[in-house]
Structure 1
Amino acid sequence: MGENRKIIMPRLVTSKLLHRQQLHGHGSVSEVSSVVEENLGKRPLNVHKDTFVYRLFTSTWNVGGIAPSDDLDLEDWLDARANTCDIYVLGFQEIVPLNARNVLGPTKSCISAKWNSLIEEALNKKERKEGAELNQESTNSSAVEGSMQGEGFRCIGSKQMVGIFTSVWVRSNLRPFIHHLDVSCIGSGIMGCLGNKGSVSIRFVLHETSFCFVCCHLASGGKEGDVLLRNLDVADILARTWFPGRATQELPEKIIEHDQVVLLGDLNYRISLEGAETRSLVKAKNWAILLENDQLLFEFSRGRHFEGWQEGLITFSPTYKYRHNSDQYYWCFDGARGEKKRAPAWCDRILWRGKGLKQVQYETCNYRLSDHRPVRAVFHAECDVSEGAQK
C-alpha cells in the first residue's frame, strides 16, 4: 500500500487561515521536533500524511555596489502590504563594489546589516502599527507581545560573501518547524576561487520537506565564449556546494538532492545578437525575437547544464543595463569616450526544480537604485507532515 495523504487546505487559501490550522493542529514544539527528527528523510508506507501549502517569496537584485539610504522603503519590492507570503528568500549581488579592497579584504558586514534592517522594517511595519494600536486600547502588554510573535517576521539566516548576500525570513509562528539550517559559500571569481563571483546557498528542512536556495553571481561579459564561463560557473557551484550531513539523518548533502530548490541571481546570460539589433528590438518591445536569442533559454533547450530546472514565462523588459535613477537603458545616453554601451539583457533570473513547488508569479519591480531591476517570483510550496506530528 502507498501513502495516505490529504491536503489540509486548497492552495489559494489565505496565509492567516493556514497558520491557524497549523497552530491548532500541532502539539508542543518539542513533540513536533522529536517526530521530525525521527522521520526526517524517510517515506514510510501506510503513514497518513498531510500537506501544508505555503506562499514563498523569492527575489534577486544586483544593487551595483550602491549602499541603501536610511529611508529606502522596500515595501513595494516585498509586496509587504498584502501580507500574503510566509517565507521570504532575498538574494543580492554587489552589495559592495567589487574592487580589490573588498574582494581581498575583510567583509563589510555593516552593509548587509543595513539591508537586513530595512527588510525587517518593511516586513514588520504593519505588525508594529497594529501592535501600537492594540497597545493604546489595552494595558495587557503580554497580549501585544503575543500578537507580534504570531504574525511578525524574523530572520532565520543570512550570509554575505564579498558582494553576494542571502537573507531568509519566515513568519514567527513558522520558526519552530524549521530544522537543520545550513549555509555553503562557493567562490568562483578571480583565480577560480575568490568571492567576487560565485554563490551563497542556504538550506533548511520545513516539517519534512527540504529546501535549498542558491544565490549566484556568474561570470560577466558579452563576448563570444563568455557564455561557456557562465555554464562552467553553474556546474562548479552545483558540484562543489556541500552541506554537512549527519550519520543519524538522511539529509541531502548536494543542492539538487533537496526536495525543492530555487536558484536565483545575476546569472549574466546575454542576448546572442549584435548590439544594434538588440537595441532596436528592445525599443520595439519585441520580446519574442529577443527571447529566441536569449543565451540561458538556449542552454535550457540544449538540456546540458540545466536539465530538470524550470523558469517561468518572461513577460517583462530586460533587467539590465539601466542608467541610475532612470527608466531609460544606458545606451540611450551619451557616455564618456571609450565607455561601453552594453546592450540590454535578462541577466537577473529565478529558476527552480522539485516536486510540490509551483510558481504563481514572475515579474520585475521598478526600483531605480542600480543599473539592474530586481526580479521576484512567488511560489506555492507544499510541505509534508506526518499525521503523528499533529497529535
Structure 2
Amino acid sequence: MGSNNFIADINPDSMEMETMMESRPSDNINISKKNSTAPQSINHQIFAGSWNVGGVSPPEVLDIQEWLRPNHINPPANIYVLGFQEIVPLNAANIVVRSENRKICEKWNSLIRAALNDPDSKNNITQDFRCIISKQMVGILLSVWVRSDLCQYIRQLSVSCVGCGLMGCLGNKGSVSVRFWLHETSFCFVCSHLASGGKEGDQRRRNANAAEILSRTTFPPGPFPNFTTKILDHDRVIWLGDLNYRIYLPDATTQYLVEKQKWNLLLEYDQLKVELMEGHVFEGWHEGVINFAPSYKYYKNSELYFGCDEKRKHNKRRAPAWCDRIIWFGKGLKQNQYDRGELKLSDHRPVRAIFMAEIKNVSMTNIHVNGDQTSIIEHKLQLLCFDHKKIQNNIYQRT
C-alpha cells in the first residue's frame, strides 16, 4: 500500500534537485584539509503529536494552538510531526473505496498552518513553517511541518502506507510512515491506528498489527549501498498514534482509580507497559513517564469520561485508557515533554511530546567544488548526474 500520492507546500523532488544542482561538479574538485572540521552535531527540537478526532470534521473556528503552542508562545520546535486518526468516519464506503478526501486534509492543514505561523503575541515575531509532506490513508493522516530555513537540508523524502484492518489489508487500521534525511541523519515517523477492543486477547491483535507495520513498511532504497529501507534502519524513529492499548483491570476499578488520579497504580496494569516489559511488542523502544490522565474515552465536547454520567444510558461501558501514545527508538533522542492537550472535539484528547534530536551537521566534512563548500552527502548526490570515475580519479590525484 505504499504511495507517493501526497500533498505538500514544497515539491520534495524539486527540493532535493535544486540543492543537488546548486554547485555543478567539474574537473576542478579538491578536498580541503585545511578547512575540514572535526565531526560536529547540532540539535533540533521535534514536536510529535497524535489525535484521534473520531470522524468529526473540524470547524473553521477550531483553535489548535492550545495543543501545538501552549500559552501562545513561539512554536517550541523546529519540526512538527502531527498524526491524526479517524479524520473520516470508518464506514464501509471510506474503507473499501479508500478515496483520499483532499478537502478534509486541507482543512486540517489549514488549521495547522494558522496555528504554527500565527505571530508571537508578545514579540510580534512571525514564524514560517511549511508542510513538506501530508499523506492520508482512509482515516489516518500524517502531516510534517518544517521551519522554512531547514527545508533545503532535507533529502530522500518518501512515504509508505500499510493497511492491516479488515481482511488483514484494508486501511481502517494500519499506518502511514514518512522518512527523510535532515543534514546527515535519517528520521522515520510512524503514525498508526491499531486494532481496537477491550476484550481478553485484543492486545495480541494490536501486537500483531505493530509487527506487521514493522515488517511491511518499506521505502525506496536510494542511491547508496545499505540505504535505509525499513523503519528500524533509521537513526531516529518516533512512533505515534492511537495504539488502542487498554488497562488490565475491571472497568469499575479503573473508573475509581481515574477519579482518584492514581496514575502510577493504573500504569502497572496498562497493557502497553505490560506487553513491553514481557517482550511481546516494541522490543528496544522507549516511552516517557506518563503524568497525565487517560486520553480516552470522553463524551464529545465534555470533560466527563464515557459512562460516568448517570443520566445517560449506554449499551457499552468504555473504561478510560491511555490509548494515544508516543514512543521512540534509537539513540540521539531526548524527550523533554510528554503530556496531553485539552481539545474536546472528539472522544479522545490529543497527546504531544517534544524531543531534542541530535543531528550530524552538514559541515562535518567539507569538499570544495569550484570554490563552493558542500558536504560529502550532497556531493554523492551530485555524482549521480555526472561521470563517477572521472571525478573520483581527479579527487585521488589532487589528494
Same fold at TM > 0.5: yes
Once the two structures are superposed, residues 110-137 of structure 1 have per-residue CA deviations (whole angstroms, 9 ceiling, x without a partner) of 101110011011111218999xx8xxxx
Match of 1:118 in 2: 111
Looking at CA atoms only, which structure, 1 or 2, has the larger radius of gyration? 2
Once the two structures are superposed, residues 168-226 of structure 1 have per-residue CA deviations (whole angstroms, 9 ceiling, x without a partner) of 00000000000000100000000000000000000000000000000000000000010
The answer to whether the Cα contact below 8 Å between 2:73 and 2:120 also exists between their aligned partners in 1 is no
What is the rounded CA distance, in whole Å, between the counterparts of 1:275 and 1:219 in structure 2? Answer: 19
The answer to whether the Cα contact below 8 Å between 1:50 and 1:387 also exists between their aligned partners in 2 is no
Query: In structure 2, which of residues 160, 165, 172 is the aligned counterpart of residue 196 of structure 1?
Result: 172
- Work out whether 1:254 is the aligned partner of 2:253: no
Query: Secondary structure of the equivalent of 2:119?
Result: helix
Query: Secondary structure of the equivalent of 2:366?
Result: helix
- Work out whether 1:216 is the aligned partner of 2:192: yes
Match of 1:300 in 2: 276
Match of 2:366 in 1: 388
Taking a change above 3 Å as real, the CA distance of residues 356 and 31 of structure 1, as seen in their structure-2 partners, is farther
What is the rounded CA distance, in whole Å, between the counterparts of 2:194 and 2:181 in structure 1? Answer: 27
Query: Secondary structure of the equivalent of 1:277?
Result: helix
What is the rounded CA distance, in whole Å, between the counterparts of 1:278 and 1:310 in structure 2? Answer: 25
Query: In structure 2, which of residues 60, 81, 105 is the aligned counterpart of residue 89 of structure 1?
Result: 81
Match of 2:261 in 1: 285
Query: In structure 2, which of residues 59, 62, 78 is the aligned counterpart of residue 69 of structure 1?
Result: 59
- Work out whether 1:226 is the aligned partner of 2:219: no
Query: In structure 2, which of residues 38, 44, 60 is the aligned counterpart of residue 54 of structure 1?
Result: 44
Cα distance, 1:287 vs. partner?
Answer: 1.1
Match of 2:302 in 1: 326
- Work out whether 1:268 is the aligned partner of 2:244: yes
Q: After TM superposition, what 4+ stretches of structure 1 lie above 6 angstroms from structure 2?
A: 31-35, 127-130
Q: Structure 2 length as normaliser, TM-score?
A: 0.80
Amino acid paired to 1:96: V
Match of 2:322 in 1: 346
Once the two structures are superposed, residues 218-243 of structure 1 have per-residue CA deviations (whole angstroms, 9 ceiling, x without a partner) of 00000001000000000000000000
Once the two structures are superposed, residues 19-51 of structure 1 have per-residue CA deviations (whole angstroms, 9 ceiling, x without a partner) of xxxxxxxxx95589999xxxxxxxxxx972211
The answer to whether the Cα contact below 8 Å between 1:363 and 1:377 also exists between their aligned partners in 2 is yes
Q: Once the two structures are aligned, what percentage of the paired residues are identical?
A: 53
Bigger CA drift: 228-237 or 117-126?
Answer: 117-126
Q: Structure 1 length as normaliser, TM-score?
A: 0.81
Taking a change above 3 Å as real, the CA distance of residues 34 and 279 of structure 1, as seen in their structure-2 partners, is farther
Bigger CA drift: 330-339 or 288-297?
Answer: 330-339
- Work out whether 1:98 is the aligned partner of 2:98: no
Match of 1:162 in 2: 138
What is the rounded CA distance, in whole Å, between the counterparts of 2:350 and 2:187 in structure 1? Answer: 22
Query: Secondary structure of the equivalent of 2:292?
Result: coil
Gap runs ≥5 in structure 1: 1-27, 36-45, 134-146
Q: Which has the higher helix share?
A: 1
Q: Relative contact order, CA 8 A, sep 6+: which one is greater? A: 2
Taking a change above 3 Å as real, the CA distance of residues 335 and 166 of structure 1, as seen in their structure-2 partners, is farther
The answer to whether the Cα contact below 8 Å between 2:74 and 2:120 also exists between their aligned partners in 1 is no
The answer to whether the Cα contact below 8 Å between 1:75 and 1:81 also exists between their aligned partners in 2 is no
